[in-house]
Amino acid sequence: MKNLKYLFLSLAIGLLSCESELEKTYDELGAIPSPVKTDLKYTLVDADYAAIDPTSKTDDYEKYKGISSEEDAIAKIPAIIIKKLVRVEGAIAVVDYNLYRPAATITATTAYTVTAEDYISQGGNVARFGNFSNDAAVVTFLKYKFPAAVKGNVIKLTYKAQNIADPVTKSFLFNDKLVWETTFALTATDYTLLGQSFPNFSDKSIAEKRIAIYLKSTVKPFAEMGDIQSVIYVYTYVDSNNVRKSEDTLLQYQYDGTAWKVIPLITQQTVNFKFKNGVWVSNNVIKYTFATADYAAAAAGLASETTLVNQVANLTSFGNFSRTGGTTGWSDDALLKAFNVVLKKNFPDAEVDQEFLVTINVYKGSAGTESFTVKLDSSKEYVYVEM
């Protein structure tokens, strides 16, 4: 029995000694970096959007297969990826998701004809002459008449306009900025001019292309770069029950200086998260895309680099970074020098550990873009973020 006591005592002392040695080892090692050396990548799928709000089968996430803002994405995505990605302290997740623009959807359409009493209610010249002199006067009336309007509401308004004999009908959209916006709604005559046998379109792609041409040639021939125009047309289709349906469809176009281009309803966006203390949190990354002036600034800032003479000359000539190799090709290390020049110039007050997701134009046999994550270290130099 005494021998057994000595045996247990020896084991206990041994275990305590081992524990002490382990603690000493951990203290010497310090913080152990994440074993995940590359970014974890994930793209949200339809089922993920449907799962955001499991209590509803008709929520916007599921309906549009997207998220309406970056802020909402940062709030909702951690719960989605918690069971889908490796959970290692310090790991970085790069998640792609669909960003949808609620402004590009019509929630309700109401037809309304302005009455004599309505004109009187507006006072001033509107009451005196019984008409509206411009769209601004109409918008003032809409604010008064429809105070409970919500985003996406469309009012198809028939009213008397100054110096026009017959009543005018226009559609006004309560947009994402919560203001009334004049739209261009196609009429029967417009559909005929656009080559349609009926006052509708059954093919959305054809509608987008023809309306873009029509805007430039007829509706807005003197548009300036950056102008935005909302257009409403009727889309017709046969549903799963073999019943023909028609619905008002909203398109938003922007003029690029040459042509009208549809602003897409859905665009793919990327957001970064870091696994910290058992949860995914938004990674403090500033997204920065090189502007035209940045390429010139990089070339000027690296003009004295004797090892980059050919690369700088190529950058000056073409305004992008060659990634084709050879004497004009920019390696990752060379690009880092360019990033230092531009980021220090544009973000002089950046704090240590601030991360940037930098996107640049590159040439790899064809034009494209590449993105790199860098951070400002304690020596005030930008370095690549290593996982």
354 closest CA partner among 317, 322, 381: 381
pLDDT in tens, 349-360: 888 888 898 999
Helix (H, G, I), strand (E, B) or coil at 192: helix
pLDDT in tens, 281-295: 887 778 899 999 999
Is the pTM above the cut of 0.85? no
Residue 108: the pLDDT is 92
* Confidence check: pLDDT of 159 > 80: yes
Which DSSP string do the residues of 163-189 spell out, in sequence order? Answer: T-SS-EEEEEEE-TTSSEEE-EE--HH
Q: What is the average pLDDT score of the chain? A: 88
Is 57 part of any domain? yes
d(C-alpha 124, C-alpha 130), whole Å: 10
Domain count, the chain: 4
**Does 292 share its domain with 374?**
yes
Is 2 part of any domain? no
User: Where among 273, 305, 329 does a domain terminate?
Assistant: 273
Is 154 part of any domain? yes
* Confidence check: pLDDT of 11 > 80: no
User: Which region holds residue 325: left if phi is over 0, alpha if psi is between -120 and 50, else beta?
Assistant: left
**Does 365 share its domain with 320?**
yes
| Minimum mean pLDDT range among 27-31, 131-135, 350-354, 372-376 | 27-31
In this prediction, residues 194-201 reach a mean pLDDT of 97
d(C-alpha 311, C-alpha 362), whole Å: 12
Give just the sign of the alpha carbon dihedral 199, 205, 209, 212. Answer: positive
* Confidence check: pLDDT of 25 > 90: no
| Minimum mean pLDDT range among 51-55, 129-133, 293-297 | 51-55
Quick check: 67 and 61 in contact, CB under 8 A?
Answer: yes
pLDDT in tens, 231-270: 999 999 998 899 999 999 999 999 988 999 998 878 889 8
Is 152 part of any domain? yes
Residue 38: the pLDDT is 60
Q: Which tokens in the block code for residue 239?
A: 């549903």
Domain residues for 360? Answer: 284-384
Residue 14's pLDDT band, with cuts at 50, 70 and 90, is low
Is 10 part of any domain? no
Is 3 part of any domain? no
Is 35 part of any domain? no
- What are residue 229's DSSP bridge partners? 253
**Does 309 share its domain with 374?**
yes
Which DSSP string do the residues of 39-85 spell out, in sequence order? Answer: -EEEE--HHHHHHHSTT-SS-HHHHHTSBS-HHHHHHHHHHHHTTTS
User: Where among 158, 182, 206 does a domain terminate?
Assistant: 182
- What are residue 98's DSSP bridge partners? 268
